[in-house]
Structure 1
Amino acid sequence: MSVEARRVTLRQLTVVPDGDDVLIGDPERATFVAVPPVGGVVVRALLAGRTLAETAELAEREAGQPVDVDAFVQTLTAMGFVVGDEEVAPERTATVQHRGWLTGPPTRVVRPLFGRVAWTVYGLAAAFCVTVFALRPDLFPGPADAMVLPDAGLSLVVLVPLAFLLVGVHELWHWFAARALGLRSRFGVDRRLYFLVFETDLSQLWSVPRRARYGPQLAGLAIDLVLLAVFLSVELVWPGVWLVPGLVFAVVSTTLWQCMIFLRTDLYGVFVTATGCRDLWRVKTLLLRQAFGRLDASGTAELAAADPRDVRIGTWFRWLWLAGVAVGLAYFAVFYLPLLHTTATWTVAGLTTGTGTRFWWTLLGSTLLYLPFVSVTVLAVRERLSRR
């Protein structure tokens, strides 16, 4: 068989127009790359079973000049997009990738949760929450609201698991929204600065058009606002109900957290989608190194090859990220430092002056409260030391 008559068998790739480029990728491996439109023509032709000669003819017609299809196929092969190249490992782009897929609910079951009616409900819930806080600022929570019981330790032992449960519901809605599009996603646990967080891998969103990506990215915040609206309604109708102020504090603190785009939160994903960036986080890092004179030769070459849009946005996003470190510390000081101080005072008093039951309860409660935070801190320090 001549080279011109040869066919190349690709994996089940997706080809999605995205601005001036085309995104091609392997959803199963969560590996995607942006190419010029002619690259999309080549991939579609190969997926349709056309020969290299036929593909080259179509590509030339699209580009208006000869296209080196063989070189492009070699690139596809290097990325593991060609069948028979299984030894090429996909690049890890999310913490929870390569841990095995979770089987999600059928698409038809979860699709109504993200239809037009559902998003109307989510929007009304958001408007309700904003209105309540505007008219009743006294309902805006503070750390004191987390003390749902007279005993500080017992309050947090009760509230912390419920707060993690709320975060789990948040991630569950991301998962459901992805399933509503027919995509698969997976759960994992990660950290952001000094916080332990749940995470849902939404890498497969690159396989759908840009407009369809917003739903899964905003789904977590949507259900958060519905829950917040329910809790605020209870506070308005039945003031003083036990535990509800603590739940409002938990939801508001996590919602504000998700607004910090400089920490790669939900709104960071929305921001990247809206701006059409490809690898903004990496470009931001390179630009910061350049600004402080710490960019080496390889980094300079990488930055020169970066998408112009990423460079344009990254030029100011790098400073937003730098300022965001201070904002994150301020957030910690406002929402969590008072709780840590209260808990530390409770712990010291219980362990130094407590006797009998109080001592053992303080020891148990302190272990339950501090272990996650200490574990994340130790992991962060070990990771930083390993980079040296």
Structure 2
Amino acid sequence: MKVSLQSKITLYPLSIQKDKKNYIVEEPISGDFFELPEISVDAIKRLDKGEGLAAIEKTLKDSYPEEEVDIIEFVDQLVELGLVQDVDGVRVNRDKEKQAKSVSNAGGFLWIPHWVGHLFFNGTMNKVYLLLLVSNVLILILNPELLPHYKDIFLFDSMVLNVINYLLISIVLILIHEFGHVLAIRSYDLPAKLSIGHRLIFIVFETDLTQAWKLDPKQRNILYLAGMSFEQIILFLSFGFMLLFPDANFVGILSIIVLDIFIKSIYQCCFYMKTDVYYVVENVTGCYNLMESGKIYLSSFLKRHQKSGKNHKEMFQNEWNLIRIYSAFYIVGVFLTLLLTVLYFLPQLYYMFSTIYFNILGAGDRAALWDAIVFLVQTTFMLVLLVYLARKERRKN
């Protein structure tokens, strides 16, 4: 379908709101969101008014003399994004209605009343979560013995029971974390969806917070931090019971909870992944391609191509200093991951597989031998599942 300056363009109904630097444009039928600059939004508004392409191009060239204006190329881009309903009376996207039906039937935890979410996320509760975070940090500083140890996950002699126990606790904590996101977005009467993904070697649940783009940046931050807010409650209660009842039987379970939240909290600061904290930084700065831009900067820096770096500086313009700062935190995140690997994951793996190895050699009884065999089968299944999820995500991308 060829677009010319004489073409008549009809767009789908669009919702437009001002963001920090540019504009967020929503196509309500599909629920897709796009970040567009002012000149693009100006063109869209003129298209909605029925102005001709030639007249729009001339007006934009006069209004934005420093910009390169090609209205036909812009309309082609709108077609690719699925924002054009028809060109010269010919329907462009015939699958839009099916897509709309799919979105409308997607659920989104709409059965949870928005007032329930508002009970947990409001001005007062948000301050409580911040206070709990500060309190938990102070508790760790004053009671360093509460810092988690890599052996905390080994409550039983059986490695199979240890793994199952840790997985169950971890899954429950993940669900609580994600349910925090769900309640937060429901507090604004917006839908959310849960899916399964992975972070490095960890299988995780993920909450789709796409609809957060309907909100202003400060409100989005509440949604991004909601999961960690719920974790602060759990962490504070765990510390409290561990200090009050240090010899109780349930302290072992609480130690696993503390270990799990502690590691995941550190991972939130690993900015080479798109974590909740990363999205907050991205949202506060208004630089919504921070990771991608940071990778470009690091790549050019490592290659030491001065000319390439200069071109990138012109490309990023006002975001250049921010991207350089982010790149430093990107590298810090990599070192944090290596530190966690050295302090926790490698010692845990060594302890587990050395125990399994000696049990297979007959160091233990028959029960220990069968435990080792089941553990190896269990580990193989988890690795297969992880590979499957990684391939599924790669196909999706």
> Shorter-chain-normalised TM-score: which range?
0.7 to 0.9
2:359 corresponding residue in structure 1: 350
1:263 aligns with 2:270: no
1:187 aligns with 2:186: no
The structural deviation recorded for 1:171 is 1.7
Greater CA drift, 133-142 or 312-321: 312-321
> What one-letter code is carried by the residue in structure 2 that aligns with 1:232?
F
> Given that residues 158 and 371 in structure 2 are in contact (C-alpha distance below 8 angstroms), is that contact kept between their aligned partners in structure 1?
no
* Structure 1 residues 350 and 314, CA gap change in structure 2 (3 angstroms): same
1:320 aligns with 2:319: no
The structural deviation recorded for 1:110 is 1.8
Secondary structure in structure 2 of the residue aligned to 1:52: coil
* Structure 1 residues 12 and 178, CA gap change in structure 2 (3 angstroms): farther
Secondary structure in structure 1 of the residue aligned to 2:84: coil
Which consecutive residues of structure 1, in runs of 5 or more, have no partner in the other structure?
Answer: 90-97
2:25 corresponding residue in structure 1: 24
* Structure 1 residues 232 and 373, CA gap change in structure 2 (3 angstroms): farther
Aligned pairs for 1:237-256 (under 5 A) are 237-241=244-248, 242=250, 243-256=253-266
2:147 corresponding residue in structure 1: 140
Aligned residues between the structures: 369
Greater CA drift, 308-317 or 3-12: 3-12
Query: Which of these residues, 81, 84, 89, is aligned with residue 83 of structure 2?
Result: 81
1:33 aligns with 2:25: no
The structural deviation recorded for 1:12 is 4.3
Query: Which of these residues, 260, 277, 286, is aligned with residue 296 of structure 2?
Result: 286
> Given that residues 25 and 34 in structure 2 are in contact (C-alpha distance below 8 angstroms), is that contact kept between their aligned partners in structure 1?
yes
Secondary structure in structure 1 of the residue aligned to 2:303: coil
User: 2-side partners of 1:112 and 1:18: how far apart?
Assistant: 27
* Structure 1 residues 9 and 164, CA gap change in structure 2 (3 angstroms): same
* Structure 1 residues 85 and 112, CA gap change in structure 2 (3 angstroms): farther
1:94 corresponding residue in structure 2: none
* Structure 1 residues 203 and 103, CA gap change in structure 2 (3 angstroms): closer
* Structure 1 residues 39 and 119, CA gap change in structure 2 (3 angstroms): same
Secondary structure in structure 2 of the residue aligned to 1:198: strand
1:103 corresponding residue in structure 2: 108
The structural deviation recorded for 1:160 is 2.1
> What one-letter code is carried by the residue in structure 2 that aligns with 1:82?
V
> What one-letter code is carried by the residue in structure 2 that aligns with 1:52?
E
> What one-letter code is carried by the residue in structure 2 that aligns with 1:32?
F
- Normalising by structure 2, report the TM-score: 0.78
Deviations 1:116-144 (A, max 9, x none): 23213312321221221122111121112
Which consecutive residues of structure 2, in runs of 5 or more, have no partner in the other structure?
Answer: 86-90, 97-102
Please provide the CA RMSD for this pair.
4.0
The alignment-based identity, stated in percent, is: 22
* Structure 1 residues 372 and 333, CA gap change in structure 2 (3 angstroms): farther
- Normalising by structure 1, report the TM-score: 0.79
1:95 corresponding residue in structure 2: none
Greater CA drift, 74-83 or 163-172: 74-83
> What one-letter code is carried by the residue in structure 1 that aligns with 2:274?
R
